[in-house]
Amino acid sequence: MNKKYIMALDAGTTSCRAILFDKEGNIVRISQKEFTQYYPHSAWVEHDAMEIWGTMMGVMREVIETSLISPEDISCIGITNQRETTVVWNKETGKPIYNAIVWQCRRTADYCEELEKEGYSEVVKSKTGLKIDAYFSATKIKWILENVEGARELADEGKLLFGTIDTWLIWNLTRGKSHVTDYTNASRTMIFNINDLTWDKDLIEKFDIPESMLPEAKASSTIFGHTDEKMLAGARIPISGCAGDQQASMFGQACFDIGDVKNTYGTGCFVMMNTGNKPIYSNYGLLTTIAWGIDNEVEYALEGSIFIGGSLIQWLRDELKMIDTSEDSEYYSNKVKDNNGVYIVPAFTGLGAPYWDMYARGTIVGLTRGAKKEHIIRAALEAIAYQSKDVMMSMKDDSNIDINKLKVDGGASNNGFLMQFQSDLLGIDVYKSKLSESTALGAAFLAGLGIGMYKDKEEIKSICSYDKIYTPSSENDKFDEYYNTWKNAVKRSLDWAK
């Protein structure tokens, strides 16, 4: 094959990136540009979908021009994206009728509470694997149809299209020829039945969304369309991979076996477990979602989100002024032999799984006269590991699957103290990938698989190598005691704001 490169398009929440990979997963060139965040009212978050499209085109062209390759050298394109963010546009003009409503936006929270009171929680969970929440796309679509002048009429006339950001980009890259999404993004809309892989007629009727607006849902590794010839100097490049950001990260980490778990240590933490070809529903409020679809097979995952991860280190730096850089946290944590009984519960915005207490608030407990800033900094890093264990133990209980290793990525995975403590706390090996950009890499792998550049997942697994493997120490009893004390600390934070 003469075409040597795969281009991954990573449409994040604050920026667009285009990354050129070779077949071995090495980065050849990367270009990134931020776009505008809009906050029209309290708890409302929006993006300009046209700006996202323009920004993505800009970084695509920059990558090609600065790497001195021809678009003809690009074998395929893979897309990964911020999930749940909702775009509604007029298919005749190609223009959005309203700003994209971002996954963080809470404007439909009251309507979600109404649905819960009406008893729809179990219906939504059994069909979509999700909790009723303003986070997901369905109530955002409904809001646009009910609040944007003329939207309902246009929708009833079949003139409006809906898509998450992947759908919006593919539609533009193909000049309107492909209105598609993949199973992972569809599974985050709250109207997609993850059991039969179709838009659920009962739910779209409940949300009063015309079926004509919805994209075709396809496997994550397949041909979604081709770039229009006028787009990239005459090249007609297949778009052959697509997945939401967390699923793409999981694929990029080669979590292909049942029980494989990855944790992305970012601003928050996103933990996902591969549960195989059957969805497993959680008793702890974890989400059941589609991991990916390849060929005629779909694999599922359990997902747990930790609200405060790396942002806890930013808090130490920016608000408490205890450290100058995030990297300093590792240095200070290693200056003391333990946390001296200090525990931080970072419930700044409440606690998620397995506690689900919106009234919990952040606490620091166990302070004595001998407590130093090093102990507080160490307690902050330990708190990230404790929260991750909380979610993983919930996954283990829900699935009855043993977790024998953890694969990690994200900025805080570069913190050696945190990763070693995580390994000690869990009693398992922690694998830090040598290949950076696992989210974009997952999209690239899916795209390469979709055109036969890779034979199968085993070939992809053979490419993945690890920068470092953290192995647990033998002092298991000590870490069990630490974890039990953490659970007691959590009890002190619950219901505080009530």
Known binding-site residues for glycerol equal 83-84, 135, 245-246
Compute the C-alpha angle 196/254/284, nearest 5°. Answer: 55
Binding residues for ATP: 13-15, 267, 310, 314, 411
**Calpha distance 270→458 (Å, rounded):** 25
> Using omega within 30 degrees of 0 as the cis cutoff, is the peptide bond preceding 354 cis?
yes
Instruction: State the DSSP code for 212.
Output: G
Binding residues for sn-glycerol 3-phosphate: 13, 83-84, 135, 245
**Calpha distance 80→231 (Å, rounded):** 20
Q: Are the CB atoms for 433 and 204 separated by under 8 Å?
A: no
Q: How many CA atoms lie within 13 A of 476 on its CB side?
A: 5
Residues 6+ apart with CB under 8 A from 112: 132, 133, 134, 139
Cβ count near 184 (within 10 Å): 32
**Calpha distance 389→405 (Å, rounded):** 12
Cβ count near 336 (within 10 Å): 15
Q: Are the CB atoms for 470 and 429 separated by under 8 Å?
A: yes
Closest CA to 134 of 179, 90, 86: 86
**Calpha distance 478→431 (Å, rounded):** 23
Binding residues for ADP: 13, 17, 267, 310, 411, 415
- For residue 216, give both structure tokens: 């075709």
Would the CA dihedral through 222, 282, 362, 136 be positive or negative?
positive
DSSP secondary structure, 121-164, as one string: HHHHHHHHS----TTSHHHHHHHHHHHSTTHHHHHHTT-EEEE-
Q: Counting Cβ atoms within 10 Å, is residue 118 exposed (0-12), middle (13-18) or buried (19+)? A: exposed
- For residue 171, give both structure tokens: 């539609």
Binding residues: 13-15, 17, 83-84, 135, 245-246, 267, 310, 314, 411, 415
Instruction: State the DSSP code for 401.
Output: -
- The helix (H) or strand (E) run that includes residue 395 is helix 373-399
Q: Are the CB atoms for 498 and 359 separated by under 8 Å?
A: yes
**Angle formed by the axes of helices 476-493 and 373-399, to 10°?**
90
